[in-house]
């Protein structure tokens, strides 16, 4: 009995080491050159997120995406999305518009579990019309951190807005090792 207890105790003591050994932290940096961003943007349809890469960092995955949004229609309700698990950091690289965050998603509709939104971009998410959110004008160089669960969407885009989105994925929902097909070499 003492041997079994000792064995179980050792197993518990080393469990974190074994778990860590399954997914070690990388020992090299991951580069995403501007040429890769430009290549993905060149092929991106308007208003569609494009994940550039998803990197396994051991305790979590980190996704980096680039998004191009074309003009919005004046007077149209603000459509938005919230992500159940994924926080996003937006880094505006060109253009601009009004970013609306917070408030409530009205008549929200969950993204289908097998959709790219869930499987490649952001994990489980809900989209719909945003009401009572906070609006702010954003442009190149602005950085916005949007915690998971916070609705966010765009309005007043006269020409375009392009931005990077950095997405920590603590639940490993996004596919580690993913590379956008436009830049896969």
pLDDT digits (tens, 9 = 90+) for 133-171: 999 999 999 999 999 999 999 999 999 999 999 999 998
CA distance 150 to 80: 10
The dihedral formed by the CA atoms of 135, 137, 140 and 142, expressed in degrees to the nearest 10: -50
pLDDT tens digits along 92-149: 999 999 999 999 999 999 999 998 888 888 889 999 999 999 999 999 999 999 999 9
Instruction: Specify the CATH architecture of the domain 24-169.
Output: Sandwich (2.60)
Q: What percent of the chain stands above pLDDT 90?
A: 59
Distance of alpha carbon 104 from its chain centroid, rounded? 20
Report d(CA 33, CA 79) in Å as an integer: 31
Angle at CA 21, nearest 5°, toward 15 and 22? 95
d(CA 85, CA 61): 12
Task: Show the tokens assigned to 77.
Answer: 């309700």
- Is residue 23 scored above 70 in pLDDT? no
Coil, helix or strand for 12?
helix
Domain boundaries, the chain: 24-169
pLDDT at 47: 63
**Averaged pLDDT score across all residues of the chain:** 86
Quote the pLDDT of residue 122. Answer: 86
| Length reported for the chain | 185
Q: Is the pTM of this model over 0.75?
A: yes
Task: Quote the pLDDT of residue 46.
Answer: 65
């Amino acid at each position: 009995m003492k041997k079994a207890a000792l064995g179980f105790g050792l197993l518990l003591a080393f469990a974190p080491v074994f778990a860590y050994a399954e997914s070690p932290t990388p020992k090299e940096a991951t580069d995403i050159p501007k040429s890769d961003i430009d290549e993905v943007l060149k092929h991106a349809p308007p208003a569609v997120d494009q994940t550039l890469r998803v990197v396994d960092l051991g305790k979590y995955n980190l996704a980096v995406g680039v998004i191009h949004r074309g003009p919005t229609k004046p007077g149209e309700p603000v459509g938005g999305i919230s992500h159940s698990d994924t926080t996003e950091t937006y880094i505006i690289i060109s253009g601009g518009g009004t970013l609306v965050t917070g408030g409530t998603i009205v008549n929200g509709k969950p993204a289908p579990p097998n959709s790219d939104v869930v499987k490649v971009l952001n994990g489980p998410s809900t989209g719909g019309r945003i009401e009572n959110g906070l609006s702010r004008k954003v442009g190149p160089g602005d950085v916005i951190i949007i915690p998971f669960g916070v609705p966010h969407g765009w309005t007043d885009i006269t020409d375009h807005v392009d931005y990077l989105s950095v997405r920590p994925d603590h639940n490993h929902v996004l596919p580690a090792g993913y590379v956008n097909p436009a830049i896969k070499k």
